[in-house]
């Protein structure tokens, strides 16, 4: 069934989409007037040009859809209209090449089936793709392809050469200005890698666009009862797709441009990543001003909702916690060493670790992530964003970040998972001990058992707990070069024979940037090493 705005096809067979060809093509004319016979040939040439350009765009876009518009000189239409509009579309499951081939076949049929009638509007729709044109807009939203005709032959204006010269000079000046600005920006920020993308141009997104109406139905029109959580840039809702699959839908706030940038960043990265310990993105919706991301649903929510709750944390026995640490480590190892290019998450924390039905961890929220170009090992930024308790000193104080920033954050996670305590840092309390100081104190005194999460009871292997504390302290060393790589960490966690280095006193970060030297000394004393030497570590 064909309509100007939609096309419906059904079949009693389950192979309705098995073929990629356009075997059945139906022209539709409606009650549109014919073009004046004196300009019919030239008009059909313009239509062909516009449809070809629109078809090229549609085949290259992720949605396999394109819109076009051409400004028409009055000499081509005898004053009947001033613009021609066009659409080209394939079913979104076709590849770019299959779509272009389908549309090329439709274009080949246009002269015989459609253009020979010299109508101002018509369409040709097949099983897999279709084309249409009209003297009025056929779509809602911005035009994707814009063309403009020159004046009819024999009616050139005498001002054309002068105008061409003026435009040429202006264009040259403008182009030179752009080159100068480009060189200047490259010199100012030679290492910056842009992650802001045009979703339409991303081949990675074919077949994951989901209609707004589908997501409205899935979430009961974003009902409050389906809310899973709320962050700085939007709300996350639980939903159920038509096939019964449960999903999490992140709805970006309309008032934040920073959130939109982070959404584009996340799309650019996560759609290309495939690992069992990274959350999967299932769809995206960019309709009617909405910006929605659809993720796989994690029934056990985020790690922070369990590990810091005295009652819920009892569900996490030591074996489960150890598996969670291993999963996070392997996910980070993939980002740092196996993905191309290298990716630094920059916001690893308990609330960004999601747990599936089997308590397997998945790293989420790549809005702040950065990629490293080949050969680069460190970046710097003047815009420090993230979560204080998980920031490494070099990043918090100087804006420097590398893969060792994520290693530091992972170390914080280890200590939180073992102790069940948040790394709270009291900026206004002079003598408060943060988690690092507390763990270090018990580590050097050999009393680690006293800080293990009480929810664990006494049913855990102390040797593994000691190993995790050791690794955690190595990860939060002051100097980034003293922190192990994620490959080394995975090896440490996975083997009882790998020898571990003794850690130094963990990093202290003056996150308020306003403490006096006296305050700095007091804090250092709280985390200082005892005067007596320690020859053997064992729990009391």
Q: Catalytic residue positions?
A: 347
Which of 4, 19, 22, 20 is CA-nearest to residue 106?
22
Pairing relation of β-strands 129-134 and 83-90?
A: antiparallel
408 vs 391: CA distance, rounded Å: 7
Q: How many CA atoms lie within 13 A of 45 on its CB side?
A: 9
Helix ranges (H only) for 247-339 are 257-270, 304-307, 318-333
* 425 and 434 Cβ atoms separated by less than 8 Å: yes
Q: What are phi and psi of 126, to 5 degrees?
A: -115, -170
Pairing relation of β-strands 246-252 and 234-240?
A: antiparallel
* 288 and 213 Cβ atoms separated by less than 8 Å: no
344 vs 191: CA distance, rounded Å: 14
HEC-encoded secondary structure of 276-296: CCECCEEEEECCCCCCEEEEE
131 vs 129: CA distance, rounded Å: 7
Distances (CA, A) of 239 to 215, 299, 487: 7, 12, 37
3-state secondary structure of 116: helix
Q: Which two tokens stand for residue 303?
A: 């790690």
Q: What are phi and psi of 76, to 5 degrees?
A: -90, -15
| 250 annotated to a ligand binding site | yes
Residue 360 burial by Cβ neighbours in a 10 Å radius (0-12, 13-18, 19+): middle
Q: Which two tokens stand for residue 371?
A: 């990629």
**Which residues are annotated binding-site positions for ATP?**
250
**Which residues are annotated binding-site positions?**
250
């Amino acid at each position: 069934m064909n309509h100007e705005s939609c096309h419906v096809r059904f079949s009693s067979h389950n192979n309705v989409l098995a073929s990629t060809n356009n075997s059945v093509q139906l022209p539709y004319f409606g009650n549109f007037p014919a073009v004046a016979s004196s300009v019919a040939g030239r008009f059909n040439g313009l239509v062909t040009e516009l449809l070809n350009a629109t078809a090229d765009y549609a085949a290259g876009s992720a949605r396999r859809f394109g819109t076009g518009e051409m400004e028409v000189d009055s000499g081509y239409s005898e004053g009947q209209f001033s613009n021609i509009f066009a659409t080209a579309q394939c079913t979104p499951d076709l590849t770019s090449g299959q779509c272009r081939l389908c549309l090329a076949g439709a274009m080949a049929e246009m002269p015989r089936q459609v253009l020979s009638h010299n109508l101002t509007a018509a369409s040709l729709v097949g099983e897999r793709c279709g084309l249409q044109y009209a003297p009025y807009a056929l779509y809602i939203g911005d035009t994707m392809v814009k063309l403009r005709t020159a004046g009819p032959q024999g009616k050139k204006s005498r001002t054309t050469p002068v105008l061409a010269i003026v435009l040429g000079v202006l264009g040259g000046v403008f182009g030179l200005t752009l080159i100068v600005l480009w060189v200047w920006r490259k010199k100012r920020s030679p290492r910056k890698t842009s992650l802001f993308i045009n979703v339409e141009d991303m081949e990675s997104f074919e077949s994951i666009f989901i209609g707004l109406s589908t997501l409205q139905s899935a979430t009961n029109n974003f009902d409050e009862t389906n809310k899973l959580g709320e962050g700085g840039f939007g709300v996350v809702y639980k939903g159920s797709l038509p096939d019964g699959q449960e999903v999490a839908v992140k709805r970006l706030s309309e008032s934040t441009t920073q959130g939109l940038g982070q959404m584009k960043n996340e799309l650019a990265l996560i759609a290309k990543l495939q690992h069992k310990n990274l959350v999967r993105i299932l769809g995206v919706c960019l309709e009617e001003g909405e910006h929605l991301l659809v993720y796989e649903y994690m029934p056990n929510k985020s790690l922070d909702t369990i590990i810091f709750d005295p009652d819920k944390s009892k569900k996490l026995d030591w074996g489960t916690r150890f598996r969670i640490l291993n999963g996070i480590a392997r996910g980070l190892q993939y980002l740092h060493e196996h993905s191309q290019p290298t990716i630094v998450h920059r916001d690893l924390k308990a609330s960004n670790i999601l747990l599936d039905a089997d308590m397997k961890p998945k790293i989420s929220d790549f809005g702040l992530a950065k990629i490293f170009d080949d050969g680069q090992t460190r970046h710097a930024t003047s815009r420090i964003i993230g979560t204080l308790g998980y920031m490494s000193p070099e990043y918090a104080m100087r804006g420097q970040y590398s893969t060792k920033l994520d290693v530091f954050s992972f170390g914080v996670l280890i200590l939180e998972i073992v102790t069940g305590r948040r790394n709270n840092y009291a900026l206004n309390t002079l003598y408060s001990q943060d988690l690092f100081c507390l763990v270090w104190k018990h580590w050097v005194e050999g009393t680690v058992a006293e800080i293990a999460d009480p929810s664990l009871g006494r049913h855990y292997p102390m040797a593994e707990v000691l190993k995790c504390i050791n690794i955690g302290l190595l990860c939060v060393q002051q100097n980034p070069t003293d922190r192990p790589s994620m490959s080394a960490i995975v090896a440490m966690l996975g083997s009882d024979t790998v020898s571990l280095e003794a850690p130094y006193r963990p990093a202290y970060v003056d996150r308020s940037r306003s403490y006096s030297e006296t305050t700095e000394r007091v804090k250092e004393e709280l985390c200082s090493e005892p005067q007596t030497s320690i020859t053997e570590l064992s729990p009391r």
